Structure formats: C-alpha cells, structure tokens
Chains A and B, each alone.
Chain A
Amino acid sequence: MMQRSGALARLIFVDLIGSVIWFPIWWYTKGLTKFISWCYEGLLYRYKQYAFSVWIKNFFVPMYAQYDWVGRLISVGMRIAVILGRGVALVIEAFAYLFLVLCWCAIPPLALMMALQNIYAGIL
C-alpha cells in the first residue's frame, strides 16, 4: 500500500524539487518529442490543405471544365505553377518548423549561458 508519508514525499520531492531536476531531461526527451509531433501535425495539416494528391490526380483535367485545347493548355500550366508554388510554400513552412525545433533545443541552454556570462561580465 502506498504509505501516507509516500504521498507527502511525492509532493515535496517529485512535484516541487524533483521537477527542477527532471525539467532538462524532459526538455530534450518527452518535451522535444511532443514539440516535434506538434510541428509534424501542423505540417501534415498544411499538406492536406494543399491537396497535392487531388491536384496531381487531376493534372490533365481542365480547370473550370474548360475542355477546349486552350483551356486544357492553360489548365496544365496553371496546375504546374500551383503545385510548384504550394510545394515551395510547404518546404518553406517545413524549414520554419525545423527552425522552431532548433530554437526549442538551443534557447534554454543559450539563455542560461548568456545569463551566466552576463553575471560574470557584470561582476567584472
């Protein structure tokens, strides 16, 4: 049976003091995983929103039901442009997410180092 003292110990050592020790480990393990999956969900949503599969499947189907030659030609050109444009946008967004992940990894130690450096510089 979980002892009463255990509950109190949990409060002090896990919730309050323990979390300070757990925090850096969490940041680069569970926290990082959660953040990456958040980025992945965002990117996936954008991918779905851009509907690449729909556009590729309908590559030669004319837009706005313009079945004449000119219509078809314009349509194919337009589709190439849109697919490329959206592809580029997606890549940019992917890089943005990558940047965010890098920030996630770098910012806390960087901030801490800068804080220490600043204290040191202040003392000097």
Chain B
Amino acid sequence: MADSQFPQVPEAIVCSSCGADPRASASCNQCKGAGIGIPADDGFLVWNTIVDEITIAIRKLRIKANAIFHLAILSVIIVFVALFLVFTIRDFKFSDVQTLAFWTSGYWFVTLFYFAVVVGAFFIFRLSEFTAPAKTLPGYLPSSHVARPTSHVENKIQKAIEVMPYFSPEAIEIVESAYRLAKELQVVEITPEILFASVLTNRSGGIFMARLGMSFDTVKEPLVRLIMTGTTGKPPINFSREAKRTLAAAYDFANRTNRKYVTSMEIFLQSFLESEKLQDLIDRVGYPKSDIVHVAEWVLLQDRLREDQNRFAELARLKPKSAMNRAMTAIQTSLLDHFSEDLTLLARQGYLPPMIGNEKVMDGLMRAIESGQGSVVLVGDQGVGKAAIVEQLARLMVEERVPEVLFDKRIVSVNLAQVVAAGDSGLAAERLISMLQEVAISGNIVLALYGIEALVGGAAGPMDLAETFASEIEKARFPVIATTSPEAWTQYLERRRLGKIMVKVDVPHPDAEQVIKVLMAKSGGIEYKNRVFISYGALEKATTLSIRYLHDVAPPQNALNVLREASVLARKTREERTIVTADDVAKVVHDKTSIPVEMVTQEESGKLMNLEDHMHGRIVGQDEAVVAVARAIRRARAELREGKRPIANFLFLGPTGVGKTETAKTLASEYFGDENAMVRLDMSEYQDQSSIGRMIGIPGDERGGLLTEAVRKRPFTIVLLDEIEKANPDILTLFLQVMDDGRLTDSVGRTIDFTNTIVIMTSNAGTSYIQSAVADGESMDKIKTNLLERELKSYFRPEFLNRFDGIIVYKPLTRDEVVQIAWLMLGSISRTLEAKGMNFRAEDQAVEDLADAGFDPAFGARPMRRVIQDRVETPLADILLKGEVARHDTVVLNDDGELTVEKAENLY
C-alpha cells in the first residue's frame, strides 16, 4: 500500500451548527454534542462518549451482566431439557412418546420442553446480537467477497455517526486506560499523546514496540513530560478536540482499509499522525515518522493476508483433490506424474504462500495467456520471484480467478533435470514426447518448466530437446509457463525457435518498497520458526543492504535470506523471543561481504579519526596522498556519499618507488583488513584493444572478466590499476563510466556495481618532469598545475582527468625519507625475529649506510629492498642456520654493517 493511503492529518471540521461551543453543542442535533468530527462517505463521524470511572464501571458491569444472563438462559434450557428427558424416560415408553396425547395432555415436563424451545430461540437471538465484540464497520470486506460495494452517495445529508460502538474491546480499553493515565498525571484533557501512551502500555503496544525495535523505557520519561505540558487539574477529564478527531479518524481509516473493527493499530497510528510534538519526540529517540507508518502498514498487511488465507481455504474446497478435472475430461498421466509435481494440488493443500507485489508481471502473464499465445517465459534473475509468480498462478487457479482458458485446469511443474538425467538424448526425447502427449490428450494441464534452458542442453552437451519441445507445443497448443534467467535467454533461447514461439515476460527487480512488503509478508513465518520478533529497522536494513551489497541473488530473495540468517543469529546470541534488530542484519551482511555496514563503534571511530597516523606507520612522507585517502574512507563510512559513484577515484602520479602502490596496500590492510583485499591489474598487460575482453569478459563466455568478476564477488574493495598510461585508450574510456556512474556491464549482461570500490590508478607519466622540477626547487602546486596543463595531456584525455576526485603527485623521496624507509624495513625484520624469540637492533650509522646504498633518485626506494636483502637478510639467514643465535639473544647490525650476536645473560 502506498503511503498516500495513510492520512497525514485527518481532515476534521468543527460542527457548523454549534461551532463546538460547549454550551450550545450539548443539545446540538448535527454533531450530537461532539463539537468536532470528520465528514466521511457514511456520515459525520464523531466521538461523543464520556469516559470516566462510572462509565468504565458500567461497561464492565454490562459485559458481566450479559455473560451472566447468557449463562442463566443456557442453564434454563439445559435444566428444562434434562427434566423432560428424565421424566419421559422414567415413566414412558417410546411408543407413548409417538402419540399426540403425550405432547398435549398437560404433563408439566413436556411444557418445560416447549419452553426450552422458545428460550432456545431467544438464546440464538442473544448470541447473534449481543456477543459481537463491536459493531462491524460498514466498509468491512467479509472473507467470501473480493470487491467492496461502493456506497458513496453524492450530496448525502450528513448525519452524525457515533464511532465508539465500532471500537473493538481492546480499543475501548485503550481509551479507558487513557482516561486513567490522564487522571494519574492530573491533566484535565485526554490528548492524542495520552492515547498514544495508552496504546504503548496496552497489550498490543508490546507488538508495536517490538516492530519498531523500541523499548518503552526509552520513551517513557519524555512522553510523560510531553503529556504533562497539558493543562493540569482535577477531574472531570474531557477529550481534547484533537483526541476526538484522532478517534473519529481511527474509524475513518479502519473503514477505508476494510477492517472489521477499529483496533489499537488505528488509534496508535492516528494519535501519532495527529500530534507533531509526538512525532518530534519519537523522531528524537531514533524512529522517524515513516517507521511508525510502516509498522501500521505491516500490521494491516498481516491481517489482510490472514483474511485472504481464509477466503482461499474456502474456495480451495471446490477444487478437485485429484488429477481429474471437474468436467472429467482428463486422463491419467502416469509418466507425467512421475516426473512432475502438481502445483495446484500443493496450493490447494496450503503449501504455496501468496505472492506479494509483481502484480504487473502477473497481469502481463495473464494477458499473454488470454491472448491465446499460450506459452509464456518469465525472464528474470535468480531470486526475483519467478517461481512465486508460477505458484501464485497455481493459487489463482485453485480459486478459479483466472482467464477462461485456465479454468478447471491444473498446473504441473516438470522436473527437467530428471527428464534429461537419462543421459541418452534419444531416451530423454522419447520421454518428453510421451509426457507431452499425455498433457495434450488430458487437456487440463498447464506445464510449468523452471529453468527451461535445461532443454537446450546448456550444460549437458549434445542433449538438445528444445526443437522437439517447440514443435510439440506448437502442435498441441497447451499452455506452458517457463522460467529462465536473462543470460540463458540471450544465450540459448532468444534466437531459437523455442524462444520465438514463447511470449517473453520480464520479471524486473523489485524496488526497495516492494522488497520491504515481501519481507513484511514473510516475517510471520520466520518469526514463528525462530521464535523471535523482527523489528521494522531489521526489515529496512535487510532491504537496503541486500540491494546495495548482495548481488549474487536478486532481491527480494537476498533480503529474505539475510533476514532469516539474522533471525537465527539473534536467537543464538541472545535468547528466544528476542527482537531482531538492524544491527543483527548488518552483522550478517558484514560477515557475508566483509563490508563494514554496522554502526560505527567507539573503537572504529578512533581508528578512523587516526587513520593518517596508522597509514604513516608504513608510508613515509606523501602527506597529501595519505590525507586524501583517509578522508575518502571517513566520508564513505559516515555514509555521506551519494552512492552513485565509487567511494573515491584517485590518480597517483609520480616516479617509481615513491610509495604509490604502497599507499593502496596500506589502505587495504588498514581498512579492508588485508593487504591483498584489492583487485590489482597491471595495465601494461592491457595494451591492445582485445584485452578489454580479459577485463570485462568475452561475449558468450559465462565466466566474465577478471575485473568484473572480482568486483562482483567482492564489491567492497580497492581497484588498483598500475601504470595506467600504458593501457589501451579504449580501456580508459571504459573507466569513464566506472568513475562516473559506479557501474560496468560485463559480457554476460550483468551490471557490476563499483559504488563500494575505491578506484586508484597509478602512473609514471610526467616522471622526468616531476624529477627535474623538484630538483629545480619548484613548488608542488606549480608542478601539479604544469602536469595537468601540459605533461599529462599527451597521455590522458581531459574528461578522463576530470573524473578523478584527487590527482595526487608523489614527490621524489629525499634522503631523509629513505633513511626512514630503511628503519621501517628493518623494523619488519625485527618483528620476524621477535616471533622466533630473538631481538634485533641496528646502529644509526649502519642504517645511514644502507640508505646511501639503497637510494637512487631514478628508482626511489625500490633498490632499498635489494640492499637490505643483500646486506642484512642474507647474513642473518647464515647466522640462523649456523645456530649462532639462540632465543633471547640480540642480533646487532653494527656501524660497520656487520651482524654480530649479543648473547643473553644466563640468569639461571
């Protein structure tokens, strides 16, 4: 249901006759004294009931008196009948009872029997008229009807309708406990806020709060403070105008949504919508207005599903229990039965749940069938609900709410894998033909084929039954509903005969609103199974996160899977009857994708704020790069980005060996948890145009490309493209789209989401200019400007450069920085030795010497690795192998560059 169906502010009017003046309205005929009401189709809706201690007591007395009265009547009937039976059996024979004289001779116990009959009739009358919980709303749809008769009459004279009799006992109790609350807090008016508080403290309030994921303690105090802002004093306590409007609006809403009675849900919703202060309060404790509206929608949807299920069960009794149709024209289909499952029978027995959403697809399907084209193929990704559509068709066929061509038929799902499992294509074809003949002769069968591409033998080599099948269904003209994926459709069916004779109906991905609705509908089963309560926050989170991050299975299936797992997680980590929250869902998604989607914890917040320092533990200098990358991560984690582009696009420029790749690796290890959590492509391998195929896949090859597959499987990652200037220009064009839209379509037709990646490209372009400019002492700003305006133009197009969030120029390393790098590298040797229980120490002069040997202005710090290998690691390995160093000893790199061992003091 769209939000628009929920009235934002009920349109109430003050009674035109009395102007809601308390003195005049007492005798006002128009509003019967309410003063304010809502004009509706049925009349002028007013709440006009006094609620105080006396009326509450009388209502309770009335319920009790009626119950006692009914019990008394029933007792009278039982006693009269019992006396009649006892005396008749004791004193008369059966033959006597058959005479008229027995019934008319004036026996007192026979007279009692006659009275029992009359009292019995009276009892039927009492049960019919005095035991209903409340009056039934005029808009109520009984379970056996599907359409509501329209009762709208133009220019009808508006008569006042008192709404109270339509309130369910629970709703009345809520109004009464609102009175008590007002009395307790010593306010003189019952306001919508008090009604709202009253719902929360009531039985059903627990459900609403569980659905919201809110605890009463969080709202209790602010709510009391809000209520206390009203006028205080002693009773009498009256309803405020807003409260009267709330209660009348509750009736109006319940009636418009075809409910039987006004329940706590309507009071909950309308009191909330009525009071802006309340909305503000609830918003401040973390629950926006839309959440409350959605919770009400959820309750309504579940009630409706229950009613639909009752109607379905009633209609299902008319559908035959066996394969025979009602016209008895069908035949036994033994072969088909062996390889298939009767969906109508399953639906009839209540095994198939109703479909939520996808109405447009259903209409398309019905239209295709009704138009006489017969065979339909539903094309959609795995998880969008193709099977649910077929199952819904089965349900509609059970109810016989289908086009005439499907009337009195059954839908049978054929297990194609089993059919082709013969291995021998001849045998499989024979089986198929025999089965189809049974279907054709029987005449009451609709075939459902899940994954029709199995007929084409996509996986089974030479087995190709598609042609056989196509010619059979063309000949016999029985309806076929098949399903397939878009890839299989393009690859196996579209250009073949089978694809041409079937009507293609696309099953699109549902949007977030529809996914939430599916989750709402399915939540009951999940809750029952896991004995938990699911909050609205969990539904919403499951929906947004699945749509954003889980692309292996389409929504709503992916969201459902997440919700199921989150429910199991909640039950296992806490106890039964716990509430599944958004955090549980986030944890499941995090575990599946490694994407940090949970709320930022204190610990993580500290890490994020100090990300630069952490990164400088590995990267020497290059402040600009480190700051830019850290800021991008912080923006992403605070969810401040739009979500339509990658988290960030960076171009790192500079000579080799200055830390460009190291920056990417550091980021991967600091934030993505693993130094290798990146997709790294060396663009020198992508110099010709044909290499695009390697990147995004070759048409016809389902494996996809190196880049697209890696990102599809791990959407939250760094995409590192080294030496981008060497790539083919067409590849750069491909990345224009990635950088701008955050997506790329692979050869199979899948759209790969790049919005959770950080795209880093490195380039040596302009290196000689950078080096000479730095040597000349030019400022970095000027160097950057010159690079962009002159040097890079020969390598990259302006629109390409424009798409970067940051172009960062890495400075050539100074000697001091190289010394620091030497210390960092020796630090890693020290850590290795520490793991073996040994210590390592280096003297300053030795490190200076290493830096001198390892520093090359042309190659940055790259030679350093080799120098350390030659001068430190190799001799160290010799020492270790010779066994010259024991645990607790210290290896020292002396000023002369030699390694010596300092033996540890023997304490024992």
> Does B bind A?
yes
> Interface of A with B (CB < 8 Å)?
1-4, 7-8, 10-11, 15-16, 19-20, 23, 26-27, 31, 34, 41, 48-49, 51, 54-55, 57-58, 61-65, 107-108, 111-112, 114-115, 117-124
- B438 to chain A: closest residue by CB: A65
Among the listed A1, A20, A62, A63, which residue makes an inter-chain contact with B48, where contact means beta carbons less than 8 Å apart? Answer: A1
- B331 to chain A: closest residue by CB: A65
Across the interface, which residues of B come within 8 angstroms of A61, CB to CB? 327, 329
Across the interface, which residues of B come within 8 angstroms of A34, CB to CB? 128
Q: Which of B100-108, B580-588, B796-804 contacts A (4 or more CB under 8 A)?
A: B100-108
Across the interface, which residues of A come within 8 angstroms of B111, CB to CB? 115, 118-119, 122
Across the interface, which residues of B come within 8 angstroms of A49, CB to CB? 318
B408 close to A (CB within 8 Å):
yes
Chain A to chain B contacts (Cβ below 8 Å), 9 pairs: A1-B34, A15-B66, A19-B129, A49-B318, A107-B121, A115-B114, A118-B106, A118-B114, A122-B111
Across the interface, which residues of A come within 8 angstroms of B49, CB to CB? 1-2
- A3 to chain B: closest residue by CB: B50
Complex Cα distance, B443 from A75, in Å, reads 16
> Interface of B with A (CB < 8 Å)?
26, 33-34, 48-50, 52, 54-55, 58-59, 61-62, 65-66, 69, 103-108, 110-111, 114-115, 117-118, 121-122, 124-126, 128-130, 144, 162, 318, 326-331, 407-408, 441-443
A7-B59 in contact given A111-B114, A121-B104 (Cβ < 8 Å): yes
Inter-chain CB contacts under 8 Å: number: 120
Interface pair B114/A16, CB less than 8 Å apart: no
Complex Cα distance, B332 from A63, in Å, reads 12
A122-B106 in contact given A54-B408, A65-B442 (Cβ < 8 Å): yes
- B108 CB to closest chain A CB (Å) equals 6
- B21 CB to closest chain A CB (Å) equals 14
A15-B62 in contact given A23-B122, A55-B327, A108-B118 (Cβ < 8 Å): yes
Across the interface, which residues of B come within 8 angstroms of A10, CB to CB? 62
Interface pair A11/B125, CB less than 8 Å apart: no
Interface pair B106/A112, CB less than 8 Å apart: no
Interface pair A48/B128, CB less than 8 Å apart: no
Complex Cα distance, B733 from A91, in Å, reads 80
- A64 to chain B: closest residue by CB: B331
Extra inter-chain contacts (12) besides given A19-B126, A54-B408, CB under 8 Å: A2-B48, A7-B59, A20-B122, A26-B129, A58-B327, A61-B329, A62-B329, A65-B330, A65-B331, A114-B114, A118-B111, A121-B104
Question: Which of A55, A63, A65 has the most B CB atoms < 10 Å from its CB?
Answer: A65
- B33 to chain A: closest residue by CB: A1
Across the interface, which residues of B come within 8 angstroms of A64, CB to CB? 328-331
Complex Cα distance, B118 from A57, in Å, reads 48
Complex Cα distance, B35 from A1, in Å, reads 10
- A63 CB to closest chain B CB (Å) equals 5
- A26 CB to closest chain B CB (Å) equals 5
Complex Cα distance, B103 from A118, in Å, reads 8
Complex Cα distance, B50 from A76, in Å, reads 71
Complex Cα distance, B33 from A63, in Å, reads 70
- B406 CB to closest chain A CB (Å) equals 13
Across the interface, which residues of B come within 8 angstroms of A121, CB to CB? 104-106
Interface pair A4/B331, CB less than 8 Å apart: no
Among the listed A2, A65, A114, A122, which residue makes an inter-chain contact with B443, where contact means beta carbons less than 8 Å apart? Answer: A65
Among the listed B26, B104, B122, B443, which residue makes an inter-chain contact with A118, where contact means beta carbons less than 8 Å apart? Answer: B104
Across the interface, which residues of A come within 8 angstroms of B122, CB to CB? 20, 23
Interface pair B117/A118, CB less than 8 Å apart: no
Across the interface, which residues of B come within 8 angstroms of A124, CB to CB? 106
A115-B130 in contact given A2-B48, A11-B61, A65-B442 (Cβ < 8 Å): no
Complex Cα distance, B130 from A15, in Å, reads 8
- B188 CB to closest chain A CB (Å) equals 16
